[in-house]
């Protein structure tokens, strides 16, 4: 068995694992990233593209913000529609803070390039990853690549390997508690090489179901419609998708919509999920390994980034100041912010979607809530504060 040592073993080569690795590099802390899949597979994942300012600042802190600044789009607000009625929430006017539109794939690409440039170690195709002795002062991780067995001794393990990864499952069941809400619908998403229908995102509450008009860049658009949780991509040829999207968005927006062949099409289930605590011994969970939010409100990558912030600060205190206060408080601090993001995503999902068991009274409450949001500045400010990101 090949054996090596590092200070922090990071499981998962997605954006949260790479961001943590890059931040640790800036303070001279050594880490190794283990990824089960190939780099190409990781970069092929299509995810959200709305970045909170806290995430933007962390990327700059990690030294990977240059291309984002050059190619990303600063959005000062968003549009919300119900039927043909549409109104705008002005983030910058209400909070002094915009959001950044820059695809998660591009964030991950930038992080990989920076990690390569500094000689960072990533082991792809790492199979049978197992965390050992996390509840002791000497944890280690074993894995296999092909027929070769490997072992990494380390000070700490960061579990950044997503909802289906092994990190959360490595915490004994009697030491963790899980909270979950599964929504009775999904999002059918289409990526098309067409100009966005609007300069800002449009969230739509329609009698036919939710729709979202989003973008990745000036010639790459991302559109979503609510569909059955049991639906299949094969049931939605491009022409039928575009026709249904036009039925849900305001008429003036539908008239301006440029359609084209899809370059990617997928259905994402909607779920709210949190596990507590996010630490067991010297194992720390980050991002989807610890929590999932529905995509409404685009909090997935941003909550992962806030986890990375709290964990990085704890590790910095440990290595630079010999102080474990940040690590000891990591789970509590991360979960306090996670639950607020969960609340916002739950609220916006409940407001914008049609539910199978929704009564006429429930529908009237949605419409009244939307009208209150349209006409009340305090309600708009509360939404804006949550959307642009609560402070760390």
Task: Tell me the catalytic residues.
Answer: 75, 203, 295, 299, 387
239 Cβ contact partners less than 8 Å away, ≥ 6 residues apart? none
Strand duo 31-34 + 177-192: pairing: unpaired
Largest CA distance in the chain: 66
CB 158 within 8 A of CB 11: yes
83 and 252 Cβ atoms separated by less than 8 Å: no
**Sheet with 283-285, side-by-side order of all strands:** 121-123, 31-34, 8-11, 156-159, 283-285, 279-280
- Considering just the CA atoms, what is the radius of gyration of the chain in Å? 21
Give ∠ CA 326-58-222 in degrees, rounded to 5.
Answer: 130
> Mind giving me the DSSP string for 223-258?
EEEEEETT--GGG--HHHHHHHHHHHS-HHHHHHPP
Whether the Cβ atoms of residue 149 and residue 129 lie closer than 8 Å to each other: no
Question: Residue 151 and residue 157: Cα distance in Å, rounded?
Answer: 13
Contact at 8 Å (CB) between 108 and 42?
yes
Residues whose CB falls within 8 Å of the CB of residue 75, separated by 6 or more in sequence, listed in order:
50, 91, 98, 99, 100, 101, 199, 200, 201
DSSP assigned state of 354: P
């Amino acid at each position: 068995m090949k054996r090596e040592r590092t200070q922090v073993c990071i499981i998962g080569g997605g954006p949260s694992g790479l961001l943590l690795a890059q931040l640790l590099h800036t303070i001279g802390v050594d880490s190794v990233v283990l990824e089960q899949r190939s780099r190409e597979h990781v970069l092929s994942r299509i995810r959200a593209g709305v970045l909170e300012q806290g995430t933007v600042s962390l990327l700059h802190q990690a030294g990977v913000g240059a291309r984002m600044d050059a190619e990303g789009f600063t959005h000062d607000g968003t549009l919300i529609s119900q039927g043909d009625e549409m109104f705008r929430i002005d983030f910058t006017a209400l909070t002094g803070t915009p959001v950044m539109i820059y695809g998660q794939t591009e964030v991950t690409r930038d992080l990989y390039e920076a990690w390569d440039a500094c000689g960072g170690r990533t082991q792809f195709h790492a199979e049978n990853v197992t965390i050992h002795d996390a509840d002791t002062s000497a944890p280690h991780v074993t894995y296999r690549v092909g027929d070769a067995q490997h072992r990494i001794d380390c000070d700490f393990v960061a579990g950044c390997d997503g909802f289906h990864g092994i990190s959360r499952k490595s915490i004994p069941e009697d030491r963790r508690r899980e909270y979950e809400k599964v929504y009775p619908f999904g999002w059918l998403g289409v990526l098309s090489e067409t100009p966005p229908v609007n300069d800002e995102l449009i969230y739509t509450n329609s009698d036919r179901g939710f729709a979202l008009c989003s973008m990745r860049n000036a010639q790459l658009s991302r559109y979503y419609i609510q569909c059955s949780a049991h639906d299949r991509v094969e049931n939605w040829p491009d022409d039928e998708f575009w026709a249904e999207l036009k039925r849900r968005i305001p008429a003036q927006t539908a008239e301006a919509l440029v359609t084209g062949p899809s370059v990617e099409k997928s259905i994402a289930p909607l779920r709210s999920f949190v596990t507590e605590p996010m630490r067991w011994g010297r194992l720390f969970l980050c991002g989807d390994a610890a929590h999932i939010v529905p995509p409404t409100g685009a909090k997935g990558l941003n909550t992962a980034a806030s986890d990375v912030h709290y964990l990085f600060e704890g590790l910095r205190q440990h290595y630079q100041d010999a102080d474990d206060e940040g690590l000891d408080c990591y789970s509590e601090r991360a979960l306090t912010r996670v639950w607020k993001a969960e609340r916002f995503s739950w609220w916006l999902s409940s407001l914008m979607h049609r539910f199978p068991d929704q009564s006429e009274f429930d529908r009237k409450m949605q419409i009244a809530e939307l009208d209150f949001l349209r006409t009340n500045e305090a309600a708009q400010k509360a939404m804006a504060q949550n959307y642009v990101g609560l402070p760390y």
